[in-house]
């Protein structure tokens, strides 16, 4: 095998288009709405004409905060709070690991992370069932 046998592709250098700065204004508006009314918002980055340089610029501008959460359901979902409290970066992946969507969620806690009331009810019942009965407690 020689160097000429190795396939090489040249990708054009991508430069930020300014989308990241425009999105910061939209995020600030959503954050003001969350602060004043409690109304959450989201921006689907996958549906916007952003290149990889825009995504990296937006990630750098928002920074990364202290909270990270991973959820494994049908695929993996990863959330991290940016350096701006209430602004979350959310990435959702398919079973094969391919990225399905990427969003900015402006909320106190992303909905997907919150416990569903049915799950809480089920957990309560399972915990009650796991508690020792009065007879078991007196024998110990």
Structurally, the chain folds into a number of domains equal to 1
**pLDDT confidence of residue 8:** 73
Average pLDDT score over residue span 27-52: 96
Say yes or no to pLDDT of 12 above 90: no
CATH number of the domain to which 38 belongs: 3.30.1370.140
* Structural domain contains residue 8: no
Single out the residue of 114, 110, 107, 88 nearest to residue 31, CA to CA.
107
Q: Give CA–CA dist 70/129, Å, rounded.
A: 29
In a domain, 125, yes or no: no
Residue linked to tokens 């992303």: 110
Q: Which of 87, 91, 63, 89 is nearest to 77 (CA)?
A: 91
User: Tens digit of pLDDT for each residue in 52-105?
Assistant: 999 999 999 999 999 999 999 878 999 999 999 999 999 999 988 899 999 999
Angle of the 19-37 helix axis to the 52-62 helix axis, nearest 10: 40
Domain of 35 in residue numbering reads as: 16-110
Give SS3 for 64.
coil
Over residues 44-51, mean pLDDT? 94
Query: What is the model's pLDDT at position 1?
Result: 67
Task: Return d(Cα 51, Cα 56) in angstroms, integer.
Answer: 9
Q: What is the pLDDT, as a whole number, of residue 10? A: 63
Q: Is residue 41 part of a domain?
A: yes
| pLDDT tens digits for range 19-38 | 999 999 999 999 999 999 99
Q: Find the helix or strand (DSSP H, E) in which 89 lies.
A: strand 87-93
**The pLDDT value given to residue 4:** 76
Please give the model's pTM, rounded to 2 decimal places: 0.79
CA atoms within 13 A on the CB side of 130: 6
Sequence-distant (6+) residues with CB within 8 A of 112 are 71, 77, 79, 90
């Amino acid at each position: 095998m020689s160097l000429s046998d190795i396939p090489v592709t040249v990708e054009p250098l991508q430069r930020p288009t300014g989308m990241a700065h425009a999105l910061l204004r939209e995020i600030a508006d959503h954050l003001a709405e969350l602060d004043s009314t409690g109304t959450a918002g989201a921006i689907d980055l996958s549906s916007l004409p952003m290149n990889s340089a825009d995504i990296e610029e937006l990630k750098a501008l928002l920074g990364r905060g202290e909270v990270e959460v991973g959820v494994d359901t049908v695929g993996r979902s990863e959330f991290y709070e940016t350096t701006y409290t209430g602004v979350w970066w959310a990435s959702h992946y398919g079973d094969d690991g391919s990225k399905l969507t990427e969003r900015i969620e402006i909320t106190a806690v992303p909905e997907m992370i919150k416990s569903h009331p049915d799950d809480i009810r089920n957990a309560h019942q399972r915990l009650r069932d796991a508690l020792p009965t009065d007879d078991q407690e007196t024998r110990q």
